[in-house]
Structure 1
Amino acid sequence: MAARHTKFYLDKRNGKWLGVCAGLADYTGLDATLVRVGMVILTIVGGFPWTLIAYGVTAWAANDKPGELAYDSVEDRKFWQGVRAKPGNSIRDVRSSFRDIDRRLSDLEVHYTSSNRRLADEIDSLR
């Protein structure tokens, strides 16, 4: 089965111990240091045995992040984090982009096929 961008994975490449906090940071789009500090504070404040148990169960149950899911750019990482957080917004954004591209192509076609003599002369001079 192919790896999915929308699934939670342990991020052992960026992790300190088992990759749970780095995986949570990658999944949610937060900074890994912020997730780690939050985990420590939560453990100290009162969730001592339960946060460690949850950390261990997550490390045991989750899969390692496949190599093919490594992001090539910050833009890719932000896109997939947005898809995980709000999939409806992602679909809306893609549809909006396609509508914008379609509109621009339509404008270009109208401009190209119009009876603009100056434009026709410029195109002929390029040939």
Structure 2
Amino acid sequence: MSSVKRELFRDPKRGKIAGVCAGLSDYFNMELWLVRILVITAVLLSGGPLFVVAYIACWFILDTKPVTQAHKTSSAYSSQDEDPISVKFKVWQKGEPPRRALFDLKERLTRLDTRVQSMETYVTSSEFTVSREINKL
């Protein structure tokens, strides 16, 4: 498991009012519609003022999402900086659709297989043996 530092930001591009719910959905890795329903339910069940004040406070306190934190497309992977493929198992979790995730996984495994084949070709070549013998001297 990788320990990626997550930060809470507002995302006004995906938000309806100020992007607080969109930021919360990114932070907790939940679908945006579910976060909105939870916030509306909390406002209605609590009488309103507490969560409305908390939303407005988050609006002013939270920074907007930087451009570098924007959602990366799954086809833009490089060999050094690969994002993990996340498949949503439940409807409220965010992630790649299963078909796309399997396609991306197949592409990554094909690239990995090609790299392993090229390493195997080099290791079994006479060039590698000569180079290893020279390094031993």
When normalised by structure 2's length, the TM-score is: 0.52
User: Where does structure 2 lack aligned partners over 5 or more consecutive residues?
Assistant: 78-82, 87-111, 126-137
- Tell me how large the CA RMSD over aligned residues is: 3.2
Shift of residue 38, structure 1, vs aligned partner: 0.7
Inter-CA distance 15–109: structure 2 relative to 1 (3 Å threshold): closer
Task: Select the structure that is richer in helix.
Answer: 1
The equivalent of 1:67 in structure 2 is: 67
Alignment of 1:1-127 (within 5 A): 6-73=6-73, 79=84, 113=124
SS at match of 1:10: coil
**Contact 1:12–1:18 (Cα < 8 Å) also in 2:** yes
Structure with the larger RCO, 1 or 2 (CA within 8 Å, 6+ apart) = 1
Q: 1:38-96, CA deviations, whole angstroms, 9 ceiling, x for partnerless residues?
A: 111111112511101110111110000011211222599x85x9xxxxxxxxxxxxxxx
After TM superposition, where is structure 1 displaced by more than 4 Å over at least 4 residues in a row? 107-112
Code of the residue aligned with 1:36 in structure 2: it is R
The equivalent of 1:86 in structure 2 is: none
Distance (Å, rounded) in 2 between the aligned partners of 1:47 and 1:34 = 20
When normalised by structure 1's length, the TM-score is: 0.55
- Identity rate, percent: 29
User: Where does structure 1 lack aligned partners over 5 or more consecutive residues?
Assistant: 82-100, 115-127
Shift of residue 7, structure 1, vs aligned partner: 1.2
Inter-CA distance 67–111: structure 2 relative to 1 (3 Å threshold): closer
